[in-house]
Amino acid sequence: MPHYLEFDGMSVEKAIETACKDLKISKDNLKYDIVSYGSSGIFGLVGVKKARVKVAAYDLKTTDTDNKENKKTEDISVEPKQDKRADEKIISKSVDTGLEALNKIVNTICDDAIINVSMEENNLFFDVESETPSVIIGKKGQTLDAIQYLLEKIINKNNDGKLNIKVDVGGYLNKRHEKLIKLAEKIAEKSKAKGKPMSLGQMNANERKIIHLYLKKDNEVKTHSVGEGFMKKLVIYPRKKGRAVHSGKKL
């Protein structure tokens, strides 16, 4: 049975170049299908989508040496080797870019903001201090969500080593995290008691991730996102009783 490898690029041509380079094969010998032509988004910043091509591995010319290389390429989870110095340069540039952009955004909303930056593994945190935090947070955190979304796009626009960007104001994210956990517990119990799906309404990707991960340990329910775009509904489904015990694995 053939297996397939997928390659991304800012255009189909770039994706093909990446495939040829990684697999050490000429373009003439590469057999591929175009998965996506990509999109330039708005001003090349928001909504940018990379082009993607799919290559059938059995179509590749292989030698004993190539086979060893291809085995490494077959496993999508294998990360390319990165120079530590390059990582430091990426982080330094990301911090500078993020601070410049965030300062411009926040200064249009309030005049007293102070921004602190910290780094933990692949997570880049921007903590905003202000005497008027509610103005930056907005109703139900919508303004803060929009700021974080834009900042992530700006920082990762030309950054191949994608960073997780977090923007917080006065510890709001921790408070919201606790509220989401309590809400998830409450709705999950209702779903189990009534034996039917229950919706938590529309949420952004970060909120959905918090609930997905938290309820993963509950074998009596499962979660699913419904909808398109940035905001999606999160639905909790009760599992059928026979299935909960099926897997003794700890999730």
Three-state SS sequence of 178-232: HHHHHHHHHHHHHHHHHCCCEEEEEECHHHHHHHHHHHCCCCCEEEEEECCCCCE
Q: Where do the domains of the chain lie?
A: 4-74, 84-170, 174-244
Q: Candidates 1.20.120.1200, 3.30.1370.50, 3.20.20.70, 3.40.50.620; correct CATH number of 174-244?
A: 3.30.1370.50
Angle between helices 172-194 and 205-215 (to 10 degrees): 50
Question: Phi then psi for 129, rounded to 5 degrees?
Answer: -105, 130
Structure confidence by residue, pLDDT tens digits, 63-94:
444 444 444 433 434 344 444 444 777 888 88
CATH number of 84-170: 3.30.300.20
Digit-coded pLDDT (tens) for 28-53: 777 877 777 665 444 444 445 677 88
**Topology agreement, domain 84-170 and domain 174-244:** no
Instruction: Tell me the residue type at 72.
Output: K
Q: Say how many C-beta atoms besides its own lie within 10 A of residue 154's C-beta.
A: 20
Q: Which residue has the tokens 């965030």?
A: 102
Q: What is the pTM of this model?
A: 0.55
The backbone torsions φ and ψ at residue 9, rounded to the nearest 5 degrees and listed phi first, read: -170, 165
